[in-house]
Amino acid sequence: MGVLAPAFFAGLAAIAIPILVHLIHRERKETVAFPSLMFLRKVPYRSVRRQKLRHLLLLALRVLAIALVVFAFSRPFLDRPVAPSAGAPDGREVVLLLDRSFSMGYGSRWDRAIATARAIASEARATDRISLVTFGATASQLTDPSGGAERVRSVLSTLQPTSEPTRFAAGFRMAGQILSASDLPRKEIVLISDFHRFGWTPNDEVTLPPRATVRSVDVSRGETEDMAITGVAVARRQDGSRVRAAVTARATNLGQRARTVNATLELAGRTVETKTVTVLPRATAQVVFTAMPVAAAPTRAVVRLAPDSQPMNDAFFFTVAEESGASAIIVEPPRPRANQSLYLSRALAVADDPPVRVDLTSALPAAGVRGRSLIVLNEADLPGGAAGEAIRARVTEGAILLVVPGERGMVGLTPAWTDALPARVGAMTDRAEGGRWASVDFSSALFEPFAVGRADFSSVTVTRYRQLTPATANAQIIARLDDGSPLLIDRPYGDGRIMVFALSLDAHWTDLPFHPLWVPLMHQLARRSIAGSEARSWFTLPHVLDLSREGTVTVESPSGARTRVAQDSTRPMVELLERGFYEIRGGGTALGAGRPVAVNVDLAESDLSHFDPAELVAAITARGQRGAVASEPAEFTGTAQELERRQAIWWYLLLAALILLGAETLLANRLSRRPVEQPATGVT
Amino acid sequence: MTTPRATGANLLDPTVLARIGNLEMRAKLVVEGFIQGLHRAPHLGASTDFAEHRPYMPGDDVRRVDWRVYARTDRYYVKEFEADTNTNLMILLDVSRSMSYGRKLPYACTLAACLAYFSSLQRDRVGLATFANGVVDYVPPSAKHLQLVLHSLDHAERGVPAKPEPIATRYRQVFQRLADAVRRRSMVAVISDLYEEPDDIVSAVNTLRGRGNDLMVLHVLDPGERDFPFIESTNFVDLESGETMPVIPDYLRDDYRALVSQHVTALTRRLTGQGVDYALFDTSQPMDKALFRYLGARRKFDRARKAG
């Protein structure tokens, strides 16, 4: 026997009420006017006390009724499986799908989830099979269906929320596999979650087996108060021989009232500075810490807030190191024009903030893009195969790819490139009379520095250009010719960006290389190419870290778990699933001296937005109907209320309490009858 | 104490009397019903009793000469009658707040009116003093004051004079003051609920006896005060002091009844021992007992006076 709401046992204190009533026996507030209390005062008080607890049967009825009501409200349930009723269909295959994302750690959500899961496990009958699947970004089957409810309950007691975000699809996929493998006639998924809005996207594909039933239990309670550190920015500057870094953290108030909090910056485990900041409701405030010298090697840094209802997002982990500068690779066609990349390479080479390493090549191997922050395909073929994948992967990590079709157009265009490029490239167009740059988008990061003073690009002359058409929804035209034709189209791609330029990078089609804005524009391009690398100061869960260049290393997780990754293994990578600092150590590296890798939770999970469980179930149902596997619509059989209704003991307890109260009324009326009548007068 | 129930006692039933609004009518019904029960003449104690002969003195009314004695003795003797046989009846009626409980005050007023009416029939002088913590109303004894007495009683029955504080009884001070006012030897009938310690009551009553007055103490109690029939636990408020006390009747009833009984017993013993006629009246009982008391007391009073 267990209870769902043990807090209601505090209501047993109400038993004191009938006892006090029987002791004091003040049942009426009216007063009786009496000629004189002379004789009443003479009655010894001791004799009153001695006789106070009378009508013990009445008292017992009242106390028992209150105890039963309290016990009923504590929602008792039976631990043992309920015996199947006669005629009921044979067993069920139940998958207990428990959300372990870090948003479940908010307040008492996790306790409610565990209590509910225990109750559901207790519902299982002898003929049922029940298995436990937990999910965050990924799903894990923690108990086998043959393990039974007892095994599920024992595992539940060991679980805690993870650092992962919510991905319902992962959990449903694994639950679907378990149900598909079952031969039992009834299949049921019980989803226990806080129903975080960002845990489900319309693109998630889930297919459930036929006649699967989905029950949902929402353990959220509309909580809103939370503070989080949602990011940091590190600005470095040279100070003599040293580099100083100024850290700016963003503190976000997700609640409905303004909060004043202390934000602390820790560097290499030591507290450096604490700042107080007031954040308005549903707003973000910046916390600017004093610049501090940083070492060449990455150093662990944390910005912390005081822990609140959701401690997972109260600390932001990142690493700080001296900036190593940008690295550009310019790819030319096999037979380039004279000085085709001269102006570009020279402009980048003279940059000192940051310094840019420039390499020129006509054949780009996959390994050649490693470590590059700026890749320029200057009228070169679009690399296919591994090189193409490597370029796109590098861009995903934060690099900038600048594609210049030029005279040769888009040679080597593959479907992968078609999907990646922000523009479709058309024919060449001559502007013999000389076209002009009409406009640039100063809000874009590339042109943003030129917004001050409204730098004049209209003096740039264009004699020929490639016609460009935006190809993706997120493509953005950030520069146009005077006839409106796009000159530069940009799109985000992963953490990096891909740009397509309609002109040449030499003086063949334009005089831009001779324009005063040329060098600053290229420097800004280089600066932008490494801006994304700051994001690499941390990773967001979940993330697969490529260790193919690290050799054989040992990876130690924030919780202390160690994983050895050999260079010759087929997958030299490690999955980052915990928030905090991972440490990557080579063979001879001392403990604590390895390369730190900061990992933070997905801040989208910090958002307390919630959606109706019925929406999710309906979405899964609809998807099941469309799926390749013919699936009957899953039925939505209820929420927490329905679950509670099944714990029927409380109903009987309330009925018993009602019967007792009825008996109490009869008894009390009977005891009230006296042979001596109350006088008609004297009552005021 | 048991009292013979007179014929026509149905007219003396308090519940019947309570329906009669006019106090005089009520008293008349009680008294005449009482008298019919006694089979006596209505004019008892007429002041025509012969007392003695004395020699004629110049100036005496010749009509008072007893000519039969002159015929036998040849001397002039004058007949002396008990010309002054009328008695003072002073009724002291308690109108404190405690008397407003139940039917005590109407009962006490009717009782006082009966005594007054009965006394008036015998041509006695009758007076009335109503009191609480002081003298509320005072009608000096007189053979012509019956209507005044009835009027005062009617006024008292309609309600205790409204005062901001509860009115408690102060027997000793009140009786001391009334003893000073009643200068002539009288019969004094005290009608009260006697909520004070027996010692204090006896002490107060003794102040009235000091002048040779003959005392009757008529103790009026409501059945609710004797039986304590309350059921619900509640707060009891003292009508006189205003004090409030939580009471669980079930637990107190037996003790309360015993204390009331002890109180009555103590009053009976102490007052009787002092020569005071004490009687307890339950407002549910007829009031002919009171008239018997009065009659008996008057005879005793007369004998004592004659002996004196």
Q: Find, in chain B, the residue whose alpha carbon is nearest to that of A40.
A: B256
Residues of A with Cβ-Cβ distance to B195 under 8 angstroms: 35-36, 38
**pLDDT-based confidence at residue A681 (cuts at 50, 70, 90):** very low
Respond yes or no on whether the N-terminal peptide bond of residue A542 is cis (omega within 30° of 0).
yes
Q: Cα–Cα distance between A21 and A58 in angstroms, integer?
A: 11
DSSP state of B295: H
Q: Output the pLDDT for position A561.
A: 87
Residues of B with Cβ-Cβ distance to A30 under 8 angstroms: 234-235
> How many other C-beta atoms are found inside a 10 Å radius of the C-beta of residue A575?
16
pLDDT tens track for A132-176: 999 988 888 888 887 788 888 888 888 888 888 888 888 888 888
Residues A94, A124 contacting (CB under 8 angstroms): yes
Q: Find, in chain B, the residue whose alpha carbon is nearest to that of A55.
A: B250
In angstroms, the separation between the Cα of residue A665 and the nearest Cα of chain B is 16
How big is chain A by its Cα radius of gyration, in Å? 36
The overall average pLDDT reported for chain A is 81
Amino acid at B77: Y
Q: Find, in chain A, the residue whose alpha carbon is nearest to that of B252.
A: A43
What angle is formed at CA A224 by the lines to CA A108 and CA A276, rounded to 5 degrees? 105
Q: Output the pLDDT for position B23.
A: 67
- Best CA proximity match to A606, nearest among A45, A105, A187, A202: A105
Q: What are phi and psi of A128, to 5 degrees?
A: -85, 155
A35, A39, A678 ranked by CB distance to B256: nearest: A39
- Best CA proximity match to A567, nearest among A554, A581, A583, A558: A554
Contact B252 A24 (CB under 8 A): no
A30, A43, A679 ranked by CB distance to B256: nearest: A43
A interface toward B at CB cutoff 8 Å?
A: 24-44, 47-48, 51-52, 54, 672, 674, 676-679, 681-682, 684
Q: Cα–Cα distance between A129 and A409 in angstroms, integer?
A: 62
Q: What's the complex ipTM?
A: 0.73
Q: Output the pLDDT for position A379.
A: 93
Strand partners, A271: A266
Q: Output the pLDDT for position B300.
A: 65
Contact B233 A30 (CB under 8 A): no
Percent of chain A clearing pLDDT 90 (strictly above): 20
A25, A34, A44 ranked by CB distance to B237: nearest: A34
Residues of B with Cβ-Cβ distance to A54 under 8 angstroms: 250-251
Residues A186, A211 contacting (CB under 8 angstroms): yes
pLDDT tens track for A372-409: 889 999 999 999 888 999 999 989 888 899 999 999 88
How many alpha carbons lie under 13 Å from residue A313 in its C-beta half-sphere? Answer: 32
Residue with tokens 């407002």: B283
Residues of A with Cβ-Cβ distance to B97 under 8 angstroms: 35
SS (H, E, C) A389-415: HHHHHHHHCCCEEEEECCCCCCCCCCH
Contact A31 B235 (CB under 8 A): yes
Residues of B with Cβ-Cβ distance to A44 under 8 angstroms: 255
Q: Output the pLDDT for position A498.
A: 94
Q: Which of A158-167, A338-347, A568-577, B10-19 has the lowest mean pLDDT?
A: B10-19
Q: Output the pLDDT for position A420.
A: 92
Tokens of B303: 């004998």
Contact B259 A42 (CB under 8 A): yes
Residues of A with Cβ-Cβ distance to B247 under 8 angstroms: 32, 40
Residues of A with Cβ-Cβ distance to B102 under 8 angstroms: 679, 681-682
| Most trustworthy range by pLDDT among A73-77, A473-477, B212-216, B243-247 | A473-477
Q: Output the pLDDT for position A549.
A: 63
Q: Which of A631-635, A644-648, B95-99, B175-179 has the lowest mean pLDDT?
A: A631-635
| Most trustworthy range by pLDDT among A71-80, A337-346, A453-462, B208-217 | A337-346
How many alpha carbons lie under 13 Å from residue B41 in its C-beta half-sphere? Answer: 5
Q: Where are the alpha helices (DSSP H) in chain B?
A: 14-17, 23-38, 67-73, 104-121, 146-158, 171-181, 198-209, 223-227, 249-273, 288-307
Q: Output the pLDDT for position A499.
A: 95
Q: Output the pLDDT for position B43.
A: 35
A37, A48, A672 ranked by CB distance to B231: nearest: A672
Q: Output the pLDDT for position B126.
A: 87
Tokens of A85: 């009723």
Average pLDDT of span A65-74: 87
| pLDDT above 90 for A6 | no
Q: Which of A127-131, A248-252, A388-392, A657-661 has the lowest mean pLDDT?
A: A127-131
Give the CA-trace dihedral at B41, B44, B48, B51, to 10 degrees: 130
Contact B98 A36 (CB under 8 A): yes
Residues of B with Cβ-Cβ distance to A38 under 8 angstroms: 195-196
Give the best residue of A22, A30, A37, A49 to mutate against chain B (max B CB count within 10 A). A37
Contact A682 B241 (CB under 8 A): no
Q: Where are the alpha helices (DSSP H) in A532-586?
A: none
**How far from chain centre, in Å, is Cα A21?**
54
Contact A681 B238 (CB under 8 A): no
Tokens of A441: 């988008």
**pLDDT-based confidence at residue A467 (cuts at 50, 70, 90):** very high
Residues of A with Cβ-Cβ distance to B133 under 8 angstroms: none
Contact A676 B229 (CB under 8 A): yes
Q: Output the pLDDT for position A593.
A: 78
Tokens of A156: 């539940």
Give the CA-trace dihedral at A446, A448, A449, A454, to 10 degrees: 120
Helix (H, G, I), strand (E, B) or coil at A96: strand
Full-model pTM: 0.43
Q: Output the pLDDT for position B297.
A: 65
Contact A678 B231 (CB under 8 A): yes
Tell how strand B187-192 and strand B244-247 pair up: unpaired
Average pLDDT of span A227-238: 81
In angstroms, the separation between the Cα of residue B252 and the nearest Cα of chain A is 7
**How far from chain centre, in Å, is Cα A446?**
30
CB contacts < 8 A, A to B, total 116
Q: Which of A73-82, A99-108, A443-452, A460-469 has the lowest mean pLDDT?
A: A73-82
Q: Which of A34-38, A105-109, A324-328, A674-678 has the lowest mean pLDDT?
A: A674-678
**pLDDT-based confidence at residue A683 (cuts at 50, 70, 90):** very low
What does chain A come to in residues?
684
| pLDDT above 90 for B276 | no
In angstroms, the separation between the Cα of residue B15 and the nearest Cα of chain A is 14
Q: Cα–Cα distance between A217 and A188 in angstroms, integer?
A: 13
The overall average pLDDT reported for chain B is 76
B232, B259, B263 ranked by CB distance to A27: nearest: B232
Q: List the beta strands (DSSP E) in A72-222.
A: 76-77, 92-99, 129-135, 139-141, 186-193, 212-218
Average pLDDT of span A11-29: 73
- Best CA proximity match to B127, nearest among B48, B203, B194, B183: B183
Q: Find, in chain B, the residue whose alpha carbon is nearest to that of A52.
A: B251
Q: Find, in chain A, the residue whose alpha carbon is nearest to that of B166.
A: A35
Give the best residue of B15, B250, B260 to mutate against chain A (max A CB count within 10 A). B250
Average pLDDT of span B5-12: 41
Q: Output the pLDDT for position B45.
A: 36
Q: Find, in chain A, the residue whose alpha carbon is nearest to that of B239.
A: A35
SS3 content of chain A, % helix, strand, coil (to 5): 30, 30, 40
| pLDDT above 80 for B135 | yes
In angstroms, the separation between the Cα of residue A66 and the nearest Cα of chain B is 23
Q: Find, in chain B, the residue whose alpha carbon is nearest to that of A27.
A: B233
Q: Output the pLDDT for position B51.
A: 60
Contact A43 B240 (CB under 8 A): no
> How many other C-beta atoms are found inside a 10 Å radius of the C-beta of residue A611?
14
Contact A32 B237 (CB under 8 A): yes
Average pLDDT of span A410-415: 88
> How many other C-beta atoms are found inside a 10 Å radius of the C-beta of residue A453?
7
Work out the burial of residue B66: count CB atoms within 10 Å of its CB; fewer than 13 is exposed, 13-18 middle, 19 or more buried.
middle
**How far from chain centre, in Å, is Cα A282?**
17
pLDDT tens track for A191-211: 899 888 778 877 777 778 877
Helix (H, G, I), strand (E, B) or coil at A118: helix
DSSP string computed for A409-448: -STT--HHHHHH-SEEEEEEEEEEEEEEEEEE-TTSTTTG
Residues of A with Cβ-Cβ distance to B101 under 8 angstroms: 33-35, 681-682
| pLDDT above 70 for B40 | no
Helix (H, G, I), strand (E, B) or coil at B123: coil
> How many other C-beta atoms are found inside a 10 Å radius of the C-beta of residue A328?
26
Helix (H, G, I), strand (E, B) or coil at A170: helix
Residue with tokens 């085709």: A340
Tell how strand A242-253 and strand A227-239 pair up: antiparallel
Contact A681 B260 (CB under 8 A): no
| Number of alpha helices (DSSP H) and beta strands (DSSP E) in chain A | 14, 33
- Best CA proximity match to B189, nearest among B203, B174, B205: B205
Residues of B with Cβ-Cβ distance to A52 under 8 angstroms: 248, 251
Q: Output the pLDDT for position A46.
A: 45
A34, A51, A676 ranked by CB distance to B238: nearest: A34
Evaluated on CA atoms B138, B142, B144, B149, the torsion sign reads positive
Contact B236 A37 (CB under 8 A): yes
| Number of alpha helices (DSSP H) and beta strands (DSSP E) in chain B | 10, 10
Q: Cα–Cα distance between A615 and A633 in angstroms, integer?
A: 14
- Best CA proximity match to A115, nearest among A136, A128, A96: A96
DSSP state of A355: B
> How many other C-beta atoms are found inside a 10 Å radius of the C-beta of residue A129?
19
What angle is formed at CA B144 by the lines to CA B138 and CA B149, rounded to 5 degrees? 35
Q: Output the pLDDT for position B39.
A: 40
Q: Output the pLDDT for position A547.
A: 76
- Pick the more confident residue, A82 or B150: B150
pLDDT tens track for B183-208: 777 888 899 999 888 888 888 888 88
- Best CA proximity match to A30, nearest among B101, B235, B237, B250: B235
A339: phi > 0 → left, psi -120 to 50 → alpha, else beta; which? Answer: left
Contact B235 A684 (CB under 8 A): no
| pLDDT above 70 for A335 | yes
Q: Output the pLDDT for position A79.
A: 53
Q: Cα–Cα distance between B280 and B271 in angstroms, integer?
A: 12
Residues B119, B128 contacting (CB under 8 angstroms): no
What angle is formed at CA A196 by the lines to CA A190 and CA A201, rounded to 5 degrees? 90
Between helix B198-209 and helix B171-181 the angle, nearest 10°, is 10
Q: Output the pLDDT for position A54.
A: 61
DSSP string computed for A449-512: GGGTTT---TT-EEEEEEEEEE-STT-EEEEEETTS-EEEEEEEETTEEEEEESS-SSTTSBSG
